[in-house]
């Protein structure tokens, strides 16, 4: 048994988060080892360290008998570590052959590109891997699976000892998956070792020989896939007990079932499929699922930001389907987007201007009333407890938690009755998280309709009256009461033996 | 944590203040040097003279400045002024004929109002075309307006055939007149436009939205702002201000060539950028536009009055832009 990669006692800390905690890892020559864990368990951090794009705080990496404290990207490539990312990184304008040899293009004696040689090499490589694609085709003409296969061929074009596959089957159909697995199996026969990251446990059982489970940056264990059950893996991913930082009193006394928001049959081809649910006033409805399962896309459609094929929004019996964000705001909907910096805040403008923005957009005033605006936004920011010496400070100077409060203040200031929170506590420290939870709870008790998207499962469990789980664009189930637990959320999110859970 | 926030805050405050302060210091310093070399510089008539010289630039720069605040750019403003100047002069000449000829009374009465109306109408249309093309093409506004810069210039050349339209003193008051024999009319327009710019940016909902769209267009859209309408309106404002600039410029010069307004494109951009309006949008105000314009005008005037080769002007202005932008970049990276 020959080890091709050994990582010993790797640590990596980000402000407030231990991304990797004394992590050990061993990869045997010729094996496919799966790496599983929840969002934020540390899989990506580890991969980046191995690929050389991130330096660990401490620890050792041993490859080919050589010991490294960290790797530079070029070292990693020279050692034969090749990564195939979830998003293909190919140049659409170039041919398959040119893409495969992009960083190592053959040249003739004049130093010019030798296209003939490039094509010949690509042909023989593709043939060897059993991939049937014309090397002359432009990459933009390829299907998704073909692009994936070309990315893998590209990885093999250099010295490839260790292949890292990050969610390789995301958006692949069954046939595409079979082709991919076939290529992986051919590779391992030639002595290639594979680190395989996936949320799809079914696949992991099909392709991997061993599986390593990560939880909060720590290794829970490495098992031979044939000797472990899916259920054991799921429980290992969840761990013993999630630390709760907030306790919500969920007796549902505020829920007003007469008046509710109905989300009816939202669809957009390839993104969201026939999603229907309803949320009562005073209720917090959670939306769980994996990243990319269509939750954010659904929220954007509800808010009138993105196109949709179908879908109606009914509030207290009235059709309020918004045509645009402006229309949504007029109808009392507020959307706290997933990425505050991307489309939430005016980072270099004062807090005051951020808070009053939506109300201004909603009104038909021509002139500003600066004095009144200042008094009222100050009141609002005090109520929300934005910690700042002055509301004339620019938002950039605030911490993540306070920035999130600014966004919340802006929607409340405009009088939003229906609030969609998309990952409300991402990148926020523990103290501010508690405050945000308290505010959301408070808003529910005031009779607002709240939809909360989160990838932080303990957060969904703590906060939500009901939790809908999305998977591949579909709302697969709605969990209620004691069924809202981490195990159920995870199983439905990953599509693990659904019948068994219901027993 | 709070301490940290306060330190950051103080830093950004200090910079914002110093941005305008540096300009004021620079202006004072330059004035002192010029006065020492040639005491005539500080005479009231020369100072009024400087204001008159920068009036057209200031009007063009106000439009460009507000557009830049909203995160877009227009480098076709010079060609717009040229084209509108040509159309204005041509209309007047067609209506009034040559000086010796007889023209009907109604023509004499209507020539100027009609020509002024046409100029503003063209300004509106050019702004509308620019704005709509920018939002529909989704290309960077620099490229779109580069194209329009060439196109408008071409139309101006086609219209004149390379010759100039003379006005024979029929349209002089606006550019050369003085109120109370003392303050040039263009200076009044300059001050008026700067004040209006200040009011729009500070007290109008529209002005607030310019900053919002310039700082983060996506966030502005999510917040319910019709971002496309804001952008198109900003281009129309630029077009209308260019029309006013063309009226004053042609009135002062007394004739129109297809290239009369060309230098204003780069000078106006230079002025607002030196003044501290961010090319990335979301930053700047009427004071920064005004100070930038004054500085540019001052450099030109001071160099002439100090008897320095006037061609040095562009070298100096060029270097000042580079320094100003580098300082701005440096401060935002902190």
The 10s digit of each residue's pLDDT in A183-204 is 889 888 888 999 999 877 878 8
How many Cβ atoms sit within 10 Å of the Cβ of residue A287?
Answer: 27
pLDDT value, residue A503 = 38
Nearest-CB residue to A325 (from B203, B209, B224)? B224
DSSP 3-state of A457:
helix
For chain A positions 356-395, those within 8 Å of chain B (CB to CB) are: 357-358, 360-363, 365-368, 370, 387-390, 393-394
Least confident of A226-235, A401-410, B154-163: A226-235
Chain segment B208-264, per-residue pLDDT in tens: 999 999 999 999 999 999 999 999 999 999 999 999 999 999 999 999 999 999 999
Q: How many residues make up chain B in this entry?
A: 334
Residue B182 CB-density burial (10 A; 0-12 exposed, 13-18 middle, 19+ buried): exposed
**Which residues, in sequence order, are bridge partners of residue A315?**
A261, A318
Q: Which of A325, A345, A347 sits opposite B221 (nearest CB)?
A: A325
Q: Does B218 touch chain A (CB under 8 A)?
A: yes
As a whole number of angstroms, the distance between CA A92 and CA A147 comes to 10
Could you give the maximum distance between any two Cα atoms of chain A, in Å?
Answer: 81
The angle subtended at Cα A130 by Cα A125 and Cα A133, nearest 5°, is 75
Taking residues A83-105, report their average pLDDT: 86
Q: Do A367 and B6 touch (CB under 8 A)?
A: no
Of A329, A366, A394, the CB nearest to B204: A366
Lowest mean pLDDT among A278-287, A380-389, B128-137: A380-389
Which H/E stretch holds residue A357?
A: helix A351-362
Closest CA to B127 of B83, B89, B69, B162: B83
Q: Which of B181, B175, B171, B172 is nearest to B45 (CA)?
A: B181
CA distance B9 to A396: 9
Q: In A64-150, where do the E strands start and end? A: 66-68, 81-84
Q: What is the mean pLDDT of chain B?
A: 88
CA B242 to chain centre: 7
pLDDT value at residue B331: 58
CB B252 within 8 A of CB B93: no
The residues facing A210 across adjacent strands are A33, A224
Q: What is the pLDDT of residue A293?
A: 87
Higher per-residue confidence, B43 vs B241 = B241
| A305, A365, A387 member nearest B205 (Cβ) | A365
Confidence at residue B8, expressed as pLDDT on a 0 to 100 scale? 43
A328 touches chain B (CB under 8 A): yes
- pLDDT at position B328: 61
> Does B212 reach chain A within 8 Å, measured CB to CB?
yes
Strand-pair partners of A333: A418
Which residues of chain A lie closer than 8 angstroms to B204, CB-CB?
366-368
Q: Do A325 and B282 touch (CB under 8 A)?
A: no
Sign of the Cα torsion B7, B12, B13, B19 reads positive
Q: Which of B8, B9, B215 sits opposite A349 (nearest CB)?
A: B215
Q: With bands split at pLDDT 50, 70 and 90, how would you rate the model's confidence at B10?
A: very low
- Among B59-63, B145-149, B199-203, B297-301, the range scoring the smallest mean pLDDT is B297-301
Q: Is the pLDDT of residue A365 over 90?
A: no
At A244, is the pLDDT very low, low, confident or very high (cuts 50, 70, 90)? low
Tell me the pLDDT tens digit for each residue of A98-153: 999 888 888 888 888 888 899 999 999 888 888 888 999 998 888 878 888 888 88
Q: Do A368 and B208 touch (CB under 8 A)?
A: yes
Q: What is the pLDDT of residue B1?
A: 37
CB A441 within 8 A of CB A386: no
Query: Which among B24-28, B46-50, B120-124 has the top mean pLDDT?
Result: B120-124
Average of per-residue pLDDT across A55-60: 92
Residues 263-292 of B with CB under 8 A from A: 282-283
- Examine the pLDDT at A411 and tell me if it is beyond 70: yes
Residue of A325, A335, A356 best to disrupt the B interface, most CBs of B under 10 A: A325
Edge-to-edge, what's the strand order for the sheet holding A466-471?
A333-336, A418-422, A449-453, A284-289, A466-471, A474-480
Q: Calculate what percentage of chain A has a pLDDT beyond 70.
A: 96
Tell me whether residues B223 and A357 touch, CB distance under 8 A.
Answer: yes
User: Do A358 and B208 count as a contact with CB atoms less than 8 A apart?
Assistant: no
**CB-based contacts of B11: which residues, under 8 Å, 6+ apart?**
B334
Q: Using a CB-CB distance cutoff of 8 angstroms, which residues of chain B are in contact with residue A343?
A: 216, 218-219, 221-222
Is A329 in the B-facing interface, judged by CB distances under 8 Å?
A: yes
Asked if B219 and A346 come within 8 Å (Cβ–Cβ), the reply is: yes
Tell which of B223, B276, B334 to mutate to test the A interface (max A CBs under 10 Å): B223
**CB contacts, 8 Å: A388 with chain B:** 5
Alpha carbons A376 and A371: distance in angstroms, whole number? 9
Q: Å from A398 to nearest chain B CA?
A: 7
CA distance B160 to B156: 6
Q: What would the DSSP string read from start to end of A234-300?
A: HHHHH-S-PPPS-------TT-EEEEEEEEEEEEETTTEEEEEEEEEET-EEEEEE-TTSSHHHHHH
| C-alpha dihedral sign at A13, A14, A19, A25 | negative
pLDDT confidence bin for A50, thresholds 50/70/90: very high
Rounded CA gap, A68 and A50, in Å?
A: 11
Residue A241 has a pLDDT of 52
Q: Quick one: pLDDT band at residue A159, thresholds 50, 70, 90?
A: confident
Contact A157, A104 (CB under 8 A): yes
Determine the angle formed by the axes of helices B227-253 and B105-137, rounding to 10 degrees: 140
Residue A148 · residue A176 · CB < 8 Å: yes
Looking at residue B163, its pLDDT comes to 87
Task: Give one word for B227, left, alpha or beta, with left for phi > 0 and alpha for psi -120 to 50.
Answer: alpha
**Cα–Cα distance, B66 to B231 (Å, whole number):** 10
**Is residue B3 over pLDDT 60?**
no
Question: If you compute the radius of gyration of chain B from its CA atoms, what whole number of angstroms results?
Answer: 21
The answer on pLDDT for A242 being more than 70 is no
Report the gap between the CA of B9 and the closest CA in chain A (Å).
7
The shortest CB-CB distance from A358 to any of B5, B223, B283 is to B223
Sign of CA dihedral A403, A409, A411, A417: positive
Q: Is A66 in CB contact (< 8 Å) with chain B? A: no
Q: What is the pLDDT of residue A240?
A: 59
Higher pLDDT pick, A458 / B191: B191
Question: Judging by beta carbons within 10 Å of its beta carbon (0-12, 13-18, 19+), is residue A395 exposed, middle or buried?
Answer: buried
pLDDT, one tens digit per residue, over A263-321 is 999 999 989 999 999 999 999 999 998 878 899 999 999 999 999 999 999 999 999 99
pLDDT in tens, B68-106: 999 999 999 999 999 999 999 999 988 887 777 777 888
Give mean pLDDT, residues B17-23: 72
In 3D space, the residue among A78, A129, A128, A125 whose CA is nearest the CA of residue A97 turns out to be A125
> What CA–CA distance (Å, rounded) separates A230 from B91?
84
Question: B328 or B32: which carries more pLDDT confidence?
Answer: B32
Q: pLDDT tens, A218-240? A: 899 899 988 888 878 888 887 75
A347 and B208 within 8 Å at the Cβ level: the answer is no
State CA A428 to chain mean position distance: 16
Q: What is the pTM of this model?
A: 0.80
E strand or H helix at A11, and its extent? strand A3-14
Query: Min CA distance, B323 vs chain A (Å)?
Result: 22
Read off the tokens for A168. Answer: 């390789």
Nearest chain A residue to B13, by CA:
A393
Tokens of B255: 């004739």
Note the pLDDT of residue A497.
57
Chain B contact for A299, CB < 8 A? no
Residues B66 and B283 sit within 8 Å (Cβ to Cβ): no
């Amino acid at each position: 048994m020959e080890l091709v990669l050994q990582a010993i006692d790797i640590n990596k800390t980000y402000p407030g988060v231990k991304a990797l905690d004394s992590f050990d890892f061993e990869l045997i020559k010729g094996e496919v080892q799966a790496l599983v864990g929840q969002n934020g368990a540390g899989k990506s951090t580890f991969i980046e360290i191995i690929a050389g794009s991130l330096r660990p705080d401490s620890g050792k990496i041993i490859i080919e008998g050589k010991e490294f404290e960290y790797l530079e990207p070029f070292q990693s490539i020279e050692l034969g570590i090749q990564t195939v990312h979830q998003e293909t990184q190919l140049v659409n304008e170039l041919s398959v052959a040119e893409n495969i040899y992009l960083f190592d293009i053959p040249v003739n004696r004049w130093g010019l590109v030798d296209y003939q040689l490039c094509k010949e090499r690509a042909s023989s490589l593709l043939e060897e891997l059993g991939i049937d694609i014309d090397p002359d085709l432009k990459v933009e003409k390829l299907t998704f699976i073909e692009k994936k296969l070309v990315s893998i061929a590209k990885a093999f074009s250099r010295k490839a000892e260790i292949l890292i596959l990050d969610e390789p089957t995301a958006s692949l159909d069954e046939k595409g998956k079979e082709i991919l697995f076939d290529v992986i199996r051919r590779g391992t026969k030639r002595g290639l070792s594979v680190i395989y990251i996936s949320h799809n446990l079914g696949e992991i059982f099909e392709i991997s020989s061993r599986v390593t489970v990560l939880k909060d940056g720590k290794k829970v264990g490495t098992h031979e896939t044939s000797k472990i059950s899916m259920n054991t893996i799921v429980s290992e991913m969840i761990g013993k007990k999630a630390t709760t930082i907030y306790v919500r009193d969920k007796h549902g006394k505020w829920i007003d079932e007469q008046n509710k928001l109905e989300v009816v049959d939202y669809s957009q081809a390839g993104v969201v499929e026939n999603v229907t649910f309803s949320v009562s006033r005073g209720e917090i409805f959670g939306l769980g699922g994996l990243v990319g399962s269509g939750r954010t896309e659904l929220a954007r459609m509800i808010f009138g930001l993105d196109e949709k094929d179908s879908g109606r929004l009914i509030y207290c019996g009235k059709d309020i389907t918004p045509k645009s964000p402006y229309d949504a705001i007029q109808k009392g909907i507020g959307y706290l987007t997933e990425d505050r910096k991307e489309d939430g805040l005016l980072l270099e403008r004062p807090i005051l201007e951020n808070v009053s923005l939506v109300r201004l957009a909603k009104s038909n005033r021509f002139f500003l009333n600066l004095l009144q605006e200042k008094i009222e936004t100050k009141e609002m920011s005090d109520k929300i407890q934005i910690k700042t010496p002055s509301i004339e400070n620019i938002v950039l100077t605030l911490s993540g938690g306070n920035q999130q409060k600014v966004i919340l203040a802006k929607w409340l200031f405009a009088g939003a009755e229906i609030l969609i929170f998309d990952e409300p506590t991402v990148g926020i420290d523990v103290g501010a998280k508690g405050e945000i939870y308290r505010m959301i709870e408070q808003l529910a008790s005031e009779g607002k309709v709240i939809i909360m998207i989160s990838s932080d499962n303990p957060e969904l469990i703590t906060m939500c009256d009901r939790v809908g789980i999305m998977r591949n664009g579909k709302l697969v189930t709605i969990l209620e009461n004691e069924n809202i637990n981490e195990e159920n959320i995870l199983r439905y999110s990953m599509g693990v033996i659904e019948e068994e859970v219901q027993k | 944590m709070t301490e940290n926030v306060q330190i950051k805050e103080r830093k950004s405050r200090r910079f914002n203040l110093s941005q305008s302060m540096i300009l004021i210091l620079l202006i004072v310093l330059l004035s002192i040097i010029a006065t020492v070399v040639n005491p005539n510089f500080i005479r009231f008539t020369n100072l009024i003279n400087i204001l008159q010289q920068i009036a057209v630039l200031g009007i063009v720069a106000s439009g460009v400045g507000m557009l830049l605040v909203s995160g877009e750019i227009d480098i076709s403003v010079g060609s717009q002024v040229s084209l509108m100047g040509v159309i204005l002069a041509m209309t007047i000449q067609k209506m009034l004929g040559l000086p010796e000829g007889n023209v009907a009374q109604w023509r004499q009465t209507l020539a100027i109002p009609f020509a002024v109306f046409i100029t503003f109408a063209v300004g509106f249309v050019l702004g509308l075309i620019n704005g709509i093309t920018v939002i529909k093409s989704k290309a960077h506004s620099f490229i779109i307006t580069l194209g329009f810069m060439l196109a408008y210039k071409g139309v101006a050349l086609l219209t004149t055939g390379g010759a100039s339209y003379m006005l024979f003193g029929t349209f002089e008051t606006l550019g050369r007149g003085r109120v109370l024999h003392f303050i040039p009319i263009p200076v009044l327009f300059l001050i008026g436009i700067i004040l209006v710019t200040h009011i729009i940016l500070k007290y109008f909902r529209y002005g607030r939205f310019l900053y919002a769209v310039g700082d983060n267009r996506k966030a502005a859209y999510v917040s319910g702002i019709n971002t496309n309408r804001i952008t198109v309106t900003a281009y129309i404002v630029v077009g209308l201000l260019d029309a006013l600039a063309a009226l004053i410029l042609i009135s002062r010069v007394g004739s129109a060539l297809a290239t009369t307004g060309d230098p204003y494109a780069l000078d106006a951009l230079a002025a607002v950028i030196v003044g501290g309006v961010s090319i990335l949008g979301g930053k700047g105000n009427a004071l920064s536009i005004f100070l930038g314009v004054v500085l540019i005008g001052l450099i030109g005037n001071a160099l002439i009055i100090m008897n320095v080769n006037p061609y040095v002007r562009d070298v100096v202005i060029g270097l000042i832009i580079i320094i100003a932008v580098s300082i701005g970049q440096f401060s935002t990276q902190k």
